[in-house]
């Protein structure tokens, strides 16, 4: 698959934007009962770490992010416990498309 660097960069930037939107949903009062995180700060730091690795072009971070978006993954569990399931589903749907595109490009 012959794609431009700018196209890939655009996909990565969109993925970063989705992660930033998820991060905004994680408030200090968030219920994390069904996640593996102890505090909202810890989860926000994890999102920041994922964003950093994307910015550094570390493609292997995609698998970790995919895990967070998976059914019963961190982000879905947080959304269900904190009342933003509808928004989560829209973000997860877009993430799935980006993930598939980026994997197809990487494996071409």
Q: Give the model's pLDDT for residue 108.
A: 79
65 touches 12 (CB < 8 A): no
Q: Give the model's pLDDT for residue 1.
A: 59
Angle in degrees, CA 26, 27, 33, rounded to 5: 65
- Report d(CA 45, CA 1) in Å as an integer: 34
Question: pLDDT for 17-58, tens place per residue?
Answer: 999 999 999 999 999 999 999 999 999 999 999 999 999 999
**pLDDT reading at 2 higher than 90:** no
Q: Give the model's pLDDT for residue 36.
A: 94
Question: pLDDT for 61-95, tens place per residue?
Answer: 999 999 999 999 999 999 999 999 999 999 999 99
Query: Which residues make Cβ contacts (< 8 Å) with residue 79, sequence separation at least 6?
Result: 25, 85, 87, 88
- Candidates 48, 44, 62; CA nearest to 106 is 62
pTM: 0.94
Query: Which residues make Cβ contacts (< 8 Å) with residue 31, sequence separation at least 6?
Result: 78, 81, 82
> Hey, where are the domains in the chain?
5-106
Residue 108 is classified by DSSP as -
Residue 106 pLDDT level (bands cut at 50, 70, 90)? confident
47 touches 61 (CB < 8 A): no
């Amino acid at each position: 698959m012959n794609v431009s660097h700018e196209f890939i960069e655009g996909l990565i930037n969109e993925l970063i934007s989705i992660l930033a939107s998820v991060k905004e949903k994680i408030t200090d009062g968030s219920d994390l009962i069904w996640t593996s995180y102890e505090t909202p700060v810890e989860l926000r730091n994890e999102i920041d770490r994922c964003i950093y690795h994307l910015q550094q072009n570390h493609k292997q971070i995609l698998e970790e992010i995919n895990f967070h978006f998976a059914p019963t993954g961190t982000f879905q569990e947080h959304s269900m416990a904190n009342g933003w399931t509808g928004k989560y589903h829209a973000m997860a749907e877009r993430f799935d498309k980006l993930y598939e595109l980026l994997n197809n490009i990487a494996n071409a």
